[in-house]
Structure 1
Amino acid sequence: MGAKIDWWGTITSVIGFSGLVYSLNGSSYRLVAFIVSIVTLIIFGYIESKVEHPLMPLVVFKDNQRISALILRFFMLGASMSYFFLMPQALQKVFGFSPLMASISFLPLTVIQFIVSLYIPRLTARFSNTSVLISGVVNTFHQIGGAVGLAFISTMINGLKGADVMIDQAQFWMVVLAIIMTVAAINILRGKHE
């Protein structure tokens, strides 16, 4: 018989993370959403420490390298998701690109990402999945980091006048997220490697 689904962990995590994103750039009751988010995520952590088959085993967070990698992934996606959302707007509003030209300008980066992704199977075969770090927890941090990062940066530039000022400020905050990401990466390199 398969493992039981951690329903309460699922429900509390969805409410907690959704509330966190909404608290950053929602239209009303943002403080309420933040409080609900924090309380629900604390309950989620408690549930995960008690259930037999947790949705997110807390033992994952005991390893310094692993938690640093998760933090890195969270902030990397926060910065990159913001970049891919805001830069096409900047290209059109600040530099006068048409929507078509704005999309074509991302083509070189897309091609590079495609080529690099072809090497992932080779890296996995050479270093194993553990070293390459492909897992459900990583993907969770990936998705949540993108949503929280974009919500955060959108909030930081909300109300600014002028598209050029907005994109300058957005890029500043992207760099801040990238610095945090870099510190986490350095922390990974400092650890022991098998």
Structure 2
Amino acid sequence: MKFKWLLAALLGLLVAACAPNAALMSETGPRYTAEQSGPEDYKLGSGDKVRLTVFNEATLSGEFSVSSTGALSFPLIGDVAANNRTIQEITQETQKRLADGYLRDPKVNIEVVTYRPFFILGEVKSPGQYPYSTSMTVLNAIATAQGFSPRAERKVAYIRRAGAAQEESFRLTPDLRVSPGDTIRIGERYF
């Protein structure tokens, strides 16, 4: 009788150790709400592509990518630091630098054309790098990667924000959002 009780207790501990830690799993927060912030709050990073339009200056306008060093290289003014800065901040600096000896009262508009990709790995059928689209959810990302593998844990997603050192665990709901540059990992279920 004691042996059965001991075996049951050990099996219970083993199952609890294999399950995701519910105490560390987020179920609320900004990742679970529709994006409240607009493109003006978005911070650029390597891999983003922007369109620069300088009014009445077609030769200065065009599409530019944020380099691996976090800079945008524009005609005449050269490199502008873009990493972790908003479009508005970059627009103001670009206007100021163009007005400093190049153009009289320049009118500049910058918009994001392509966001940096997200990455998905683990128990999905086709892990890899995929293009980000606005208002994307983790379930959309999983569908983009051709769905769950047969061994996938379907209740938890692990997300590491671009530039972060550690991933966080989140309860997988239809409202869980992806950000550009995120790395999503779908774990394996054990039973």
TM range (shorter): under 0.3
The TM-score, its normalising length taken from structure 2, stands at 0.21
Looking at secondary structure, tell me which structure has more helix per residue: 1
Looking at secondary structure, tell me which structure has more strand per residue: 2
The structure with higher relative contact order (CA 8 Å, sep 6+) is 1
The TM-score, its normalising length taken from structure 1, stands at 0.21
